Every structure is written in C-alpha cells, then in structure tokens.
Structure 1
Amino acid sequence: MKGDGKNKKCLAYVAIFIVFQIIVITAFALTVMKVKGPKVRFGAIVAENFSSPAANSPSLSLNLVTKFAVKNTNFGHFKYQNSTVTIYYRGQAIGTADIPQGKAKARSTRRTDVTININTDKLSGSTNLGNDINSGFVPLTSEATLKGKVELMKIIKKNKSGKMSCSMSVNLKNSNIQDLKCK
C-alpha cells in the first residue's frame, strides 16, 4: 500500500514533465521555427552627377547612391541570389543596378552600397517629363525582388523572397531626393 502513493506521485511528476515539454516545444515551433521573408528597403538616397536638362529637349541624368538594406527577422540566416533594382519614371524603366548575392545573418540587417545610373534618354513615346522638370520635381518609383533561402539550424531550408516598392521625388532645385516611401 505504501508503494501505491509513491507510484501515483511518480506518474504525476512524469505527466507534469510531459505537459511542460509539449508547451516548450510548441512555443519553440511557433517562434523560432516560423520563417518569414526578409524586408528589403532603400536607406537614404543621394543624387550625384546631376545634369541639368536642356530647354528644348527635356532630359534628366543623375546617379542615385543608396544603401540597399536586407532585414532578416528570422533565427536563421538568409542567403539571397543576384538581383536587380529598377528605377521607373511613370512606368518606364530609366535605370537599373545589380544587387550582388549575399547573406543576411540571423536577426540582423545587411546593407549594401548601390549606385543606380538614371537617364531619361531611354524613355519612349510622349511623356510628361518636360512638365515635371518645369515644376521642379520628377517622380520616380523603384522595384526589386530578392529571392533566396532561410536556413534554420543547418537542417531546415525554406525558399523565401523579399519585395521592395518605393516612391520618391527628385527635387531639381537642390538635387535632393525627397518623399522616399518604401513598402
């Protein structure tokens, strides 16, 4: 009869331990093992080598110098492939730059210097470029997609991608980029 009480206590401790382990494993699976795509953004952008437009033939030429940021919120590193960022003026591509392959470490942000050459000579058809130049502000948008893999504990590898879409304006009076908004 004395052994029955000890056995019940032992079984109770084992049951409590199993429940505790299930809670720990569930919490681990819901936090650490949840894999998200990275956040891709531009840092501050500076306009360099700005050439003023000709009065009779509106055009714009400049370099956008920025830090391209890849924020990895996962508990494993994110390895991404070569990619391209494209700048658009009213839907037409006017500049591209290569984003070299790289790796954003776990729970950190990797920043890469990028220079994008912009030239409106690539525009086709009728545009509002002359009106925008006369107003002093030229609207631009940018897009990029980074594809890669998140690796957790050197065992689990999941394909993920990060997309960037930004809008901005080139202020022609002081050659600055303003109203930078990225999603």
Structure 2
Amino acid sequence: MSTGEGRRSSKKCLAYVAAFVVFQTAIILLFVLIVMKVRSPKVRFNAMAVESFSSTNNNSTSFNMTMLAQVTIKNNNFGDFKYENSTLSILYNGVKVGEAVVPQGKAGPRKTKKFNVSVDLSGIRDRVGNDLNSGVFRLSSRGTVSGKVQLIKVIKRNKSGEMKCDWSINLATRQFEDLKCN
C-alpha cells in the first residue's frame, strides 16, 4: 500500500466519521426540539349536569344549584404532568358563586385525565331575576392547574394549564348549552 492510498482511505474514514457526527447531531437536535419541548396542559370542563336547582324571588332574588361537571386535563407532553390541588372558580356576571376543587394527581404522557367534581353554586344578585325569567342562566369558569412536567426522569419543568370556559343553562330543560372553552 502506498502512502497516497493510505492518505485517501484515512480521509474517507474521517469524512465518514464527520458525516456520522453531523447526522447524530441533527437527530439529537430534532429530538430536543420536538419531543423534549414542554407544553402547558389544557384544562377544560367537558360534560355537565344540573343535579338540583332552586330560586327564590322575595326581597332579593337568589339561586342555589348543584352541578356535576367532568374536568379534563390533557397532557400533550412526552412525560408525566404531576399537578397540585387547585380550585376552579365558577362565576356569574363576574362574581364568584362557587368553586370546583381539583385534587392533586397525575396525567400520563400524551394522555387525558378525566374526573368528576360536584359544585355547589349560590348567589344573590339583582340581575338574577331577569336571567331566571328569560330561562337562560349564563355562567363562566376560571382557574389554573399548576404542576411539573417530568421528561425522561431527569428534566422537570413547571407548567400550568388555564381554564376559561363560558356556558349557558337552559332552566326549562336543566341542560347545559353553548359550552366554549379557550
């Protein structure tokens, strides 16, 4: 073997090693940018049902209602989302009339955690009488579920999911309508 051929084969070997390193770097970069990107979970109300509803119309109109709501926490990450105890507020015309308690838990990778909560609502408002007479009761919910996303048991990132939902209750049928969550 001549020295010219040895140099050519060592240059080829060096070129293959360089190409392999570039390829591996690209794969790792894609993995980090796509798989390891930590996203905020999505918190939503899905299904709701009115268990009881009553109203009074004496000096000041008031209402009492118990509803059962399904809360979902959708984890789009490739790692577990472990969340802490949280409270979701139910609002009527911007005033808190009840709250749903979200117990601490875990949503698995690329999974949606579903659970039911019972919420007691009550309030005294001047406008309640108009809404009760119209037969449509408009409510909204706001809240944040905070926790940590853990990737490959090494990387931990604090993330939180916000809930902003608006809906109406048809008092004649006691059915929920127009549920919209952002």
CA contact (8 A) 2:39 2:76 kept: yes
Residue 12 of structure 1 is matched in structure 2 by 15
Cα offset for 1:58?
2.5
Residue 134 of structure 1 is matched in structure 2 by 133
* 5+ long unaligned stretches in structure 2: none
Residue 56 of structure 2 is matched in structure 1 by 54
Residue 97 of structure 1 is matched in structure 2 by 100
CA separation in 2, counterparts of 1:55 and 1:161? 41
How many positions carry a matched residue from both structures?
A: 178
SS class of match (1:88): strand
Root mean square deviation, CA, Å: 1.2
Cα offset for 1:118?
1.0
Counting aligned pairs with the same residue, the percent is 48
CA separation in 1, counterparts of 2:88 and 2:126? 22
CA separation in 1, counterparts of 2:172 and 2:57? 15
| One-letter code aligned to 2:19 | I
SS class of match (1:130): helix
5 Å-filtered alignment, 1:90-169, equals: 90-120=93-123, 123=124, 127-169=126-168
- 1:106-160 Cα offsets, whole Å, 9 max, x none, are 110001111111112xx3xx53111111110111011110010000111111111
Cα offset for 1:77?
0.4
Residue 170 of structure 2 is matched in structure 1 by 171
TM-score by length of 2: 0.94
CA separation in 2, counterparts of 1:20 and 1:47? 58
More deviation, 53-62/155-164: 53-62
CA contact (8 A) 2:61 2:126 kept: no
Residue 28 of structure 2 is matched in structure 1 by 25
CA contact (8 A) 1:58 1:133 kept: no
CA separation in 2, counterparts of 1:104 and 1:163? 15
SS class of match (1:54): strand
CA separation in 2, counterparts of 1:145 and 1:55? 34
TM-score by length of 1: 0.93
| One-letter code aligned to 1:145 | T
